[in-house]
Homo-oligomer: A and B are copies of this chain.
């Protein structure tokens, strides 16, 4: 990996074919390689083979570049969760567990992007922020629909919402603890799929409070 995949521009040409897309891809790769906070615009420029001023024709700030990667990641996660859930009967424990497993798998495969997606400290309430909120809600909706199907209730039923949030919370914590290596601390090998399955079952079928 050492060899960062240099993204070539059309050789010799002054103007770049599709610099914006290539910068987003470079940003994604660097976020994955060094983590969101260590990402630098200058490195992305080197990857794309342009000067350090070039990105500012396409993005207002460094944060804008990161936001683009965040958005793309959220969209990928949304489709992935939906695909995984669709492989099993609606409302089944298998469907819920598979969705959760896909969530964790995403975090494991792309920890940098995952971290980026779920740690926006700036609450700017920009239109961009709104877009991302919607994308996040779409992801949550996949789980919510499963719970609703199992209970035979509405998607916005309070008990459905509570259980949905418990499930989301669980896989979210599982994702972070996994990518931060907190589980490797213990010697005993933990069977994560099994743990996820049993927890999903316990939460899904808990007697209502």
Residues of A within 8 A of B (CB): 35-37, 115, 118-121, 123, 133, 136-137, 156, 158, 161-162, 165-166, 168-177, 180-183, 185-186, 188, 190, 194-195, 197-199, 201-203, 206, 209
Contacts and interface: CB of A to CB of B under 8 A. Distances in A.
A209 to B, nearest CB: 5
Contact of A185 (B137, B156, B162, B183): B137
B185 A133 contact: yes
Contacts of A165: 183, 190, 195
A168 B173 contact: yes
Given A170-B166, A190-B165, A206 B195 contact: no
Given A156-B188, A202-B202, 4 more contacts: A133-B185, A136-B185, A166-B195, A173-B176
28 contacts: A35-B121, A36-B37, A37-B37, A115-B119, A118-B180, A118-B182, A119-B180, A120-B180, A133-B185, A156-B188, A162-B190, A162-B195, A165-B183, A166-B195, A166-B198, A166-B202, A168-B173, A169-B170, A170-B170, A170-B173, A172-B173, A172-B176, A173-B173, A173-B175, A176-B176, A198-B206, A199-B203, A201-B206
